[in-house]
Each structure stands twice: as structure tokens, then as C-alpha cells.
Chain A
């Protein structure tokens, strides 16, 4: 596991970018690591792009703003276009190919195209493309143990919405297996 993992998640407001980022942060908290979670805020959240910076580290975190992500999760075209150039060489881009038509050229990063929105819908998990993608992030980076992420999920699904726990679990494994 790298000393520090900087993840940038981006998409339309409402796609669950912030929630996916929070799951990573909660997992880091369970592992006792230094973590930060910083959302974009402001007018761009209404219909435009929303994004969320998550840092996992063994050292205190300086700027919580991820400018050079190790991992970029892109859930729409504008987000991919905006951020793909910032991914560090050797980094990973995980994108929802249902939402993204064209992938800019970059041969120094690993680009994983996952039809997350369709995978989720076909499995009866509409609206959980974010968690499907997160499952893939876990598989590619191993940022925590699978059990840790499951604990993070349990913590993050509110008591009133416990019926959503199993669908989220399914979405995670769907992404990890895909």
C-alpha cells in the first residue's frame, strides 16, 4: 500500500460522488489512517460537475485538495475532460463508459472503462453506479481490505435505510468482479 493515495471523484451532482468518497474516507478512518475529504461546493453542483477529493495517508495531510490524483473516478464527460490531464503518470482512471463517449488519449495511465450505470441497472441496482465504480477502485488499488470497506458501508448507511445495505454490497462486488 502506498504511503499516500489521492483520489479524485467527479461527475454530475446527484450521481453519488460525495458518498463514494465518504466510503473511502470512512474506510481510512477504520484503518486508523490520516484522511481528508473535501467536496467541491457552489453553483457548479447544480447540474454541472461535482467533485470530491479524498486523501488517505500515513502522514498528516497538508492540502486536502487533490490536484494530482493517483486515482480518478469519472462519471461524466466534462469531469473526465477536465481532470484526466491531472492524473499522475502511472495513475489510474476508472470511468463510467455509459456516461462517457470519448476518452482523451493518455498512454501513461491505466484507463479502465466500466459500464457502471448499465451494470447497476441490469442488476436491479439503479443509482448505484457510484458504488460499482468504488468496487473497481478497491480492486485496482487495494486501498483497504474488503472487510474494512464493508464496515465503512455499514457505518455510512443510515439506520433508517438499512434496506439499502445489501444492494450497496452487491454493487461493490459487481464493480470488483467486473
Chain B
């Protein structure tokens, strides 16, 4: 890449007909017709949207169920004049993102759970150097190599401590293929705006499934990055991308400044979707693929006369505490539904702060909960509240029983 290209997105008129639809398999289309609904896999939608958001460097390493992101990028990126590179490892890939980002280029890497763990050091370095970048995690079951089926077991990792040190990153949780596209587009904007790594946290179901999607239009103009280390030719102050500060007071000052930014993010970027929450007695909280299942269960509960609703966090960090807090006033109880052993439920409990019962239902290891199971959990909770069934515990573990 040349030093002066980072701030210009691929010019729309060079687009032509990139990626002639390879519709023979599941490879989907590379639609350049704005506004047209096409069928695409979530993984492909992420890749195409990233390119439209001005991503010009992609560094990846294959891992199921994420590989289509890299496969799509390998075909499309060269046609956009960008760089696609299959790195020698996940560690290398994230450090390449660090390098590209410090030069001011919109850069991305993607992986699945075990591979994301390998990226954790690099993400911490990016946060410490205030570098924007997008990391996609198409989660699979864990820990360890785990499995390859869909999971949400990396919630803690993504929202609490993906790497060492005092930092956060913004985490977006799409729930449809359309949102896979939209969230990656937003992720680049948020990353640049706050100079922070941003993660799109999805899972194998969202990555592998096809749904209709309308691709966002190409970004017209990218933000200026005066901090970029893209060669100053003696015409301006030298810029440095660095996370090493040996003087404690200096490091402290940097961290405090960064947390001021986090406070701004918490205040302005919480995103949430609410479904029938207004009059709900039992409010479900679920994100990503799991929220789709929870929404079906809410519909079934309503048919049975149980006033259920759903809060779907779209940003996992910042956690949409305001929406949960508002629901405390009207709801009698909360039920968190996740594809893990109970992770986000802790954040719900932090906000609810003992004012209401917070239950949990989950399946883990790659097992996808069914709407019927979630409905059962809602009904148990409903019975528990009315006192008919004293055995109804706030903890409802699906597959583990």
C-alpha cells in the first residue's frame, strides 16, 4: 500500500463486477448492485461488508467454522487492490493487523475461538498502542480445541479480558446475516472513532447459514488519521505506534486517558434490540444466534399467556446496562439464555443488583438450544414466581442435567 492511500476507500468506479457470482456451490454472490437482496453466508457477508467499509488488508489463518471469511477475502481483496495474506499463524496475523493499522489502513483478521486466543497478545498490544482494527470471532465450542459447532463460550474472553492489561474493546454481536454485514461496517467506524480494536463476536451458526442480505454501500470517505505512522518525509512531527511505557506515571496517564474514552463509549454506544419488553414480566436476555431462539420462545410463551419479552444486547461491550436497568422497573424476573455455561448472566446480575431474580438457561459444547427448551425454562420460572412449584431454581441448565 502506498502512504497516501489509507484514507481513500476503493474508488467505486473501479468495482466493475468483482467476484462473478459463483453460485454453483455455497460460495454465494459478490453483489455490487447496491440495494439488491442476495443470499449469502454470514461469513461471506462479513468479508464483503468489510471490503465495502474500506478494509484493504486482511490477514487470516484457516479454522472451522470461520474459513469462508478468509476464502472470500482471498478472491475479492486482490481485485480491490488490497492485501490478502494467509499468515503463518494467528499470532502473525494479528501482528500484521497491528502493522497495517498503525500505517492508517483499515485492517481485519478473523478466526474462531482457539485461534482468537492466540491473537490475544496482539489485541492487547493494539489496545495499548491505541490502534483501530477489526477482529472477527466465529465462535465454536471450547475450552481447548473444543469442537467445531456453534457456541457463545467466548463471551467472557471478549468482554472482560481478551488479553493482559487494563483495557477493553468494543464487542458487537450480530444476530442475522444482515447484521453480520452491518456490524462489521460499524466495527470499522467505531474502531477509527475511538482508536480501539473492535470485535465482531458471532458463531458457527451465523457464519455458516445463508439468509437474504442487502449489502451496505461502499464507504465514501475514510476518516483522517494524523497519528498514522505512514511516513512523514520530514514535513510533520514523527508519529509512533507503541505500547511500552517504562515510567509508571506515564503509563498510568495513558491508561486513565483511555478509560475516559471507555466512559464515553459506555455513555453513547450501548446498543440493544427490545422485543415485547414493555409489559413483560419475564425478560429474557440473549445475544447473537441464541437471541433468535429466545425470540421464538418468547412468542410461544405469549401464546400460552406468559408475559415474556426479550432484550438482545447488540453491543456486548459496552454492555447495555441502561436497557436492563430500565426493565428492572417493569419486569418481575430475568432469564438469560446463552450457548455456554452462563457468562453474560453475570453482567445481567451486576445490573439487576439483587432487585429481581435472574435465571439462566444454556446449552454448551456446540449444542444449540431449542425454542421448546427455552420455553420450558420460561415456564419453570413462571411457576416458580407464582409459588406453584417450589423446586423451580433460578439456575436452569439444559444439557448438563
Q: Are A158 and B24 in contact (CB under 8 A)?
A: yes
Collect the chain A residues with CB atoms within 8 Å of residue B212's CB.
Answer: 29, 34-35
A25 within 8 Å of B by Cβ? yes
Give the interface residue-count category, chain A: 20 to 34
Give the interface residue-count category, chain B: 20 to 34
Identify B64's interface contact among A18, A36, A42, CB under 8 A.
Answer: A42
Q: Are A37 and B23 in contact (CB under 8 A)?
A: no
Pair count A-B, CB < 8 A? 76
A61 to B371, CA, bound (A): 12
1-44 of chain A: CB within 8 A of chain B: 18-19, 22, 25-26, 29, 34-39, 41-42
Collect the chain A residues with CB atoms within 8 Å of residue B148's CB.
Answer: 41-42
Identify B292's interface contact among A26, A63, A156, CB under 8 A.
Answer: A63
A64 within 8 Å of B by Cβ? yes
Q: Are B209 and A38 in contact (CB under 8 A)?
A: yes
Q: How far is the CB of A42 from chain B (nearest CB, A)?
A: 5
Q: Are A161 and B209 in contact (CB under 8 A)?
A: no
Collect the chain B residues with CB atoms within 8 Å of residue A41's CB.
Answer: 64-65, 148, 204, 208
A155 within 8 Å of B by Cβ? yes
The A contact surface, by secondary structure, is mixed
Collect the chain A residues with CB atoms within 8 Å of residue B299's CB.
Answer: 62
Collect the chain A residues with CB atoms within 8 Å of residue B149's CB.
Answer: 42
A72 within 8 Å of B by Cβ? no
Collect the chain A residues with CB atoms within 8 Å of residue B239's CB.
Answer: none
The residue of chain A having its C-beta at the shortest distance from the C-beta of B296 within the complex is A62
Collect the chain A residues with CB atoms within 8 Å of residue B243's CB.
Answer: none
A157 within 8 Å of B by Cβ? yes
A39 to B41, CA, bound (A): 10
The residue of chain B having its C-beta at the shortest distance from the C-beta of A154 within the complex is B23
B293 within 8 Å of A by Cβ? yes
A65 within 8 Å of B by Cβ? yes
A25 to B39, CA, bound (A): 8
B81 within 8 Å of A by Cβ? no
Per-residue contact bits, chain A 71-104, to B (CB 8 Å; 1 contact, 0 not): 0000000000000000000000000000000000
Chain A interface residues toward B at CB < 8 A = 18-19, 22, 25-26, 29, 34-39, 41-42, 60-65, 67, 155-159, 161
